[in-house]
Amino acid sequence: MRRTWTIIGVSDVPGSFKWYQSLLGLPATTPAHDDFGQILDLDGTVLLCLHEWGAHGHPSLMSPDHARPGNGLLLFFRVDDFAMALPRARALVARLEEEPHVNQNTGTTEFSLRDPDGYYVTISALHNRRSDREYATT
């Protein structure tokens, strides 16, 4: 098995850590370090790594001032609890970037929002159950 570890630069690792755990319905924990943390699924799979801007001298993570955060990046999460993910997301942001709809390319229901650092995040139903499709029409 091969997996990727997506790492994004953030201004506040503990704050972003809490935000993503809330969005994904994960138990609240704290990052291992103030400048780096891994968002883990319940089975220990790394879903996303959060890296403080400028820490450790990585060239592409030096500063958000060198490029707009999220340019060329879409964080796309497939979730098995879409009906619960939507109210969690609404509690985290003032407005969604895209309301729930059926993506014509994937045939699944999804919505999008921005994280605290401006990254574009899409939440997609893992299995498009009838109740998930209904969110796309309300």
How sure is the predictor about 137, in pLDDT bands with cuts at 50, 70 and 90? low
d(C-alpha 39, C-alpha 37), whole Å: 7
d(C-alpha 50, C-alpha 34), whole Å: 10
> Are the beta carbons of 96 and 90 closer than 8 angstroms?
yes
Give whole-number Cα distances, 55 to 34, 83, 85, in Å.
10, 37, 31
Domain endpoint, select from 60, 81, 105: 60
Residues 56 and 76 in one domain: no
How sure is the predictor about 138, in pLDDT bands with cuts at 50, 70 and 90? low
pLDDT of residue 1 exceeding 90, the answer is no
Residues 113 and 135 in one domain: yes
How sure is the predictor about 93, in pLDDT bands with cuts at 50, 70 and 90? very high
Structural domains counted in the chain: 2
pLDDT of residue 17 exceeding 80, the answer is yes
Enter the pTM of the model.
Answer: 0.83
Helix axes 82-92, 13-24, angle to 10 degrees: 140
Output phi, psi for 27, to 5 deg: -60, 145
Domain endpoint, select from 35, 60, 85: 60
User: Is 105 inside a domain boundary?
Assistant: yes
Q: Residue 27 is part of a domain; what is its CATH number?
A: 3.30.720.120
Give whole-number Cα distances, 64 to 53, 78, 81, 93, 117, in Å.
7, 27, 32, 21, 9
Most confident of 2-6, 76-80, 129-133: 76-80
Average pLDDT, the chain: 89
> Are the beta carbons of 21 and 28 closer than 8 angstroms?
yes
Q: What is the pLDDT of residue 102?
A: 93
d(C-alpha 106, C-alpha 128), whole Å: 10
Domain that holds residue 56: 1-60
Residue ranges with strand state E in the chain: 7-10, 36-40, 46-52, 75-79, 98-102, 109-114, 120-125
Which carries the bigger pLDDT value, residue 72 or residue 54? Answer: 54
User: Is 88 inside a domain boundary?
Assistant: yes
